Chain A
Amino acid sequence: MAETLKIIVVGNGMVGHHFVEQLVTQQHPNINFDITVLAAESRLAYDRVHLSEYFTGKRADDLAMTSEATYDQWRVAFHLNSKVTQIDRAKQIVTTHNGDQYTFDKLILATGSYPFVPPIPGNEQSHCLVYRTIEDLQEIERCAKESRVGVVVGGGLLGLEAANALKEAGLKTHIVEFAPQLMGVQIDSAGGTLLRNKIESLGVEVHTSKATVAIEQGTNHRYRMNFKDGGHLETDLILFSAGIRPYDELADLTGLEKGERGGFAINNQCQTSDPNIYAIGECAAWNNFIFGLVAPGYQMAKITVQKLINPTSDEKFIGADMSTKLKLMGVEVGSIGDAHGNTAGSQSYTYENQPQGIYKKIVVNHDGTKLIGAVLVGDTSDYDSLLQYMLNGIDLPEHAESLILPNVNNGPVLGADALPDSATICSCHNVTKSDIVNTITAGSTELATVKSCTKASTGCGGCAALLKDVFDTAMENLGFEVKKDICEHFAYSRLELFNIVKIEKIETFEDLLQRHGHGLGCDICKPTVASILASLWNDYVLEKNKIPLQDTNDTYLANMQKDGSYSVVPRVPGGEITPDKLIVLGEVAKKYDLYTKITGGQRVDLFGARVDQLPSIWAELIDAGFETGHAYGKAVRTVKSCVGSTWCRYGVQDSVAMAIFIENRYKGIRAPHKIKFAVSGCTRECAEAQSKDIGVIATENGWNLYVCGNGGMRPRHAELFASDLNDDTLILYIDRILSFYINTADRLQRTSVWMENMEGGLDYLRQVVIDDHLGVCDELERQIAHVIANYQCEWKTTINDPEALKRFKPFVNSNETDSTIEFVRERGQIRPAIEKEKSIKQSPHLIPVIEAK
């Protein structure tokens, strides 16, 4: 019996959310985590690192890191606008400001931090703001509209970001800093000077060594800031960004220990002085140190999750690398490790290029063998390499200065190959080089997949270039791209199989497997070969020896839905349908109680048919003159059309007639993937032909032919292949293009990807199809003519074939129907019952059907 652990997470900033995500995705078989999030803000976690992008057009939704739906799906309860005000440690109960109480077994404090506002008289006025939350930004946006001049108090990392925000909002911007330089924590004074020059050249005025003593009413502007040195500055808006302070007042209220400079004091496993209470992120003080970056917070979250899953976990927080790379107002700044050279015996190398505004410094250890710190201003292209040198303790080259000198003599390059497997590539999510290589080895051969599997480069994004380098190198080393075998049973690509089948005139899968493959085949090669056989010979797909090759949709000539029922889509060529036929669709749907929906391809989809109902449904449809719509096949689907010149005031050609002609010509043709067409009657393009595999748009003089577009997951506009074609030429070109596609495309490759991978692209396709550059047009036309001539409505054949109809009987030993398919009614129609609505549960006796653990 699994133990249930009640987890309360206080705060849903980036770190609090990361904790929840980690805990949910690392499910543990013996512990049920009952997670409740209490957040003081009015929305779930968003990306504070990229907050300033709010002023360059990103909205709250763009910054969101999750959604309420995701939390619902994770079964994580959350209460927004719920600030925790008390913790009863003895009873293990938290209380929110509105009096709600929640019990916990383990409490996770991720309350974050708030901006420090220096205690300057007058700092509470209406246009004195801070920069921390989306609400703050909305307030800044509102106040900026009533202001011409803005001052940021604080010249640290966040202050510069805030200054950028004010500048983006169109204000004359000043930065007022207490210290003698900008970004004093991260960079040295020489770097600070250069940074100041660059920022001032952008029109931002920088005032260093200034202590503000009062904020009074101004003369020309709303406020006047008086400085300790006697000077003053007038402004309409003041933004405080003078550091952060942990939200730790719960420590005082409950007697939890605090760090010297505040924050919940935590041990190496992120536990506070109460072992049932953890603190992570900017509210936590580890060794009296508060980490104001997201990566250490993520590490704390991870360590806490490990500890909850496995109480004996010995994963420890051991501090964090505070290296940073950022681009502020177009100025690149990087800081690595011991930037100030505080380590005893350390030495440094410096390169400064004033004309171009570049400053670079590296700090090395006493014997000059290891890199321990670096400062980069104006050019951070060396950041990734330098960081790897430091993090992995890689021996420095003989002339360490070559690492930062301009690349005049081809200085040493630290390629992905030179990195040890343990090298951290993404420090936000702690992803190493070996994590990436292992993910690729496990089958993720797309960069996007590697990113989503490992989360690399999904935090601050600073490692994107390095990640790509590591990915590309690993792919090359692993020899990818070379192998194009479709599966373990055939050492051939689809194209090679197509040619083998064609040349050897192979007519069955068994024959092909015996001659060129091994094993039993699988769900990849079988449908591929079935498609090739159909493309080449266009035999009846339900011939006995072809049944085992087909996906269920092809076997049952219908589309399987999530509950095992099927949908039925009769062909409606060009989307034109008579009232009588429309009534038949309605009558059939009503008789069999099918859910009815209009498709994007101008047809009607009827859902909820059981396997055993399909033949009688189709008998009625065929009786009324319908044909199968091939919605189930990798085949020609629909030809969408607008109403065209017959009715439309603007139409210049009869698009409906052309669409019907095209659909009837190519219906039923099997291809590597589905094929969609559209015909528009004029340039207004109401049929959206440019998003189709084959798009036809009427002109005054004929037809323009567009090819290789698609909608779907990765939309691509079709490209103009030829203009002002007459009817015969249009059809001739489509014949040849389709035939060439079927001959040469890879398995499940849409025309868009086929085109993208075609050497020579559109021009090459024109050469093949229009100029007959390869001398294959006769053969292409012959093939397509053969399949067109052999068209049959598969459903008509099926309902007249008693042997084929046997497949539609649900049970081989009973005439009962499948009682596990159940529906409930919604909006006047059926829909599949969800688990808890089903009357038939998995029966407990005799044959327990084992469910996923």
Chain B
Amino acid sequence: MKNSETNYNIMNNSMMNTNQETWLSVCNKSDLVINSGVCALVDNHQVAIFGVQSDDLKIYAISNYDPIGKAHVLYRGIVGSINDEPVVASPLFKQHFSLTSGQCIEDDSSHVRTFKTRLVESDVQILI
């Protein structure tokens, strides 16, 4: 088992003070639980990261905070699709959030922040 947390530093101060968007490594591809979520701590914020495997592997990152249940739990939801849109169902009250837009399917006024992701070699990175 690879000790991933030592490899990926939490953001340093210089990064925090810029308004520039930055790619940040959060984990290794092997840390993902395919078709489910893991959580990364980024400057004290929780980001839920999902690796979804259908024909190819797609990686999505959204805020881990469920604005309806008001708890940091989204990475523990079940991943699925609604009309081909990849979604995660909140483990608290089962509302679905789009993994691409962050929009809550059941409640127009609720959405969560999403992050761009990319895979560099086996590094999972998010844009913040």
Contact = CB atoms under 8 A, between A and B. Distances in A.
Interface of A: 488-489, 519-523, 525-527, 547-553, 555-556, 560, 562-564, 802-803, 806-807, 810-816, 818-820, 835, 842-843, 845-853
Given A488-B83, A812-B49, A847-B113, A523 B89 contact: yes
A812 B38 contact: yes
Nearest to A853: B109
B111 A850 contact: yes
A650 B4 CA distance: 63
A520 B111 contact: no
A806 B1 contact: yes
Contact of B80 (A521, A562, A835): A521
A521 B52 CA distance: 11
B36 interface: yes
A372 B62 CA distance: 61
Question: What are the nearest 4 A-B pairs in CB distance?
Answer: A522-B80, A523-B89, A552-B91, A520-B81
A555 B76 contact: yes
B45 A846 contact: yes
A850 B112 contact: yes
B68 A852 contact: yes
A555 B40 CA distance: 19
Contacts of B31: 812
8 contacts: A520-B81, A525-B80, A562-B92, A812-B38, A812-B49, A820-B71, A849-B113, A850-B113
Given A564-B73, A811-B39, A520 B80 contact: yes
B76 A522 contact: no
Nearest to B78: A523
Contacts of A488: 82-83
Interface string B105-128: 001011111000000000000001
Given A813-B26, A820-B71, A852-B109, A548 B44 contact: no
Interface in B38-80: 38-47, 49, 52, 54, 63, 65, 67-73, 76-80
A849 B78 contact: no
A847 B24 CA distance: 13
A564 B34 contact: no
Contacts of B4: 812-813
Given A523-B80, A548-B78, 6 more contacts: A519-B80, A810-B39, A813-B10, A813-B27, A814-B40, A849-B113
Contacts of A850: 63, 67, 102, 111-113
Contact of A526 (B33, B43, B73, B78): B78
B1 A802 contact: yes
B70 A835 contact: yes
Contacts of A852: 67-68, 107, 109-110
Contact of B113 (A522, A555, A806, A848): A848
Contacts of B111: 850
B79 A847 contact: no
A560 B92 contact: yes
Given A560-B91, A562-B92, A519 B113 contact: no
B8 interface: yes
Contacts of A853: 109-110
Nearest to A838: B70
Contacts of A842: 65
Given A814-B10, A847-B113, A556 B82 contact: no
A815 B49 CA distance: 17
B100 interface: no
Interface residues of B, number: 59
A811 B41 contact: yes
Contacts of B45: 843, 846-847, 849
Contacts, number: 144
Contacts of B76: 552, 555-556, 560, 564
A564 B48 CA distance: 14
Contact of A813 (B41, B72, B92, B109): B41
A813 B111 CA distance: 25
A527 B10 contact: no
Interface in B10-41: 10, 16, 26-27, 31, 33-36, 38-41
Contacts of B84: 519
A552 B10 contact: no
Given A812-B27, A812-B39, A552 B65 contact: no
Contacts of B79: 520, 548
Contact of A548 (B10, B33, B73): B33
Contacts of A522: 78, 80-82, 87, 89
B35 A562 contact: no
A520 B86 contact: yes
Nearest to A552: B91
Contacts of B92: 560, 562, 564
A812 B80 contact: no
A814 B5 contact: yes
Contacts of B86: 520
B89 A843 contact: no
Given A560-B76, A820-B46, A521 B34 contact: no
A384 to B, nearest CB: 35
A555 to B, nearest CB: 7
Contacts of A551: 78, 91
B81 to A, nearest CB: 4
A846 B43 contact: yes
Q: Which of A803, A807, A813, A853 has the most C-beta atoms of chain B within 10 angstroms of its own C-beta?
A: A813
A536 to B, nearest CB: 21
A851 B16 contact: no
Contacts of B94: 523
A815 B67 contact: no
Contacts of A520: 35, 52, 54, 79-81, 86
B127 to A, nearest CB: 11
B43 A811 contact: no
B5 to A, nearest CB: 5
Nearest to B112: A850
A807 B110 CA distance: 28
B40 to A, nearest CB: 5
Contacts of A815: 5
Contacts of B41: 811, 813-814, 816
Interface string B89-100: 101101010000
Contacts of B39: 810-812
B38 A847 contact: no
A851 to B, nearest CB: 5
A364 B8 CA distance: 84
A850 B112 CA distance: 5
Contacts of B77: 523, 552
A813 B63 contact: no
Contacts of B89: 522-523
A547 B33 CA distance: 8
A847 B69 contact: no
Nearest to A807: B33
Given A551-B78, A847-B113, A850-B113, A813 B40 contact: yes
A820 B111 CA distance: 20
Given A835-B70, A847-B45, A849-B65, A547 B38 contact: no
A460 B39 CA distance: 53
B47 A560 contact: no
Contacts of B38: 812
Contacts of A560: 73, 76, 91-92
Contacts of B65: 842, 849, 851
A527 B40 contact: no
Contacts of A556: 76
Nearest to B8: A813
A847 B115 CA distance: 10
Nearest to B81: A520
Contacts of B83: 488
A519 B86 CA distance: 9
Nearest to B47: A847
Nearest to B43: A846
Nearest to A802: B1
B107 to A, nearest CB: 7
A174 to B, nearest CB: 59
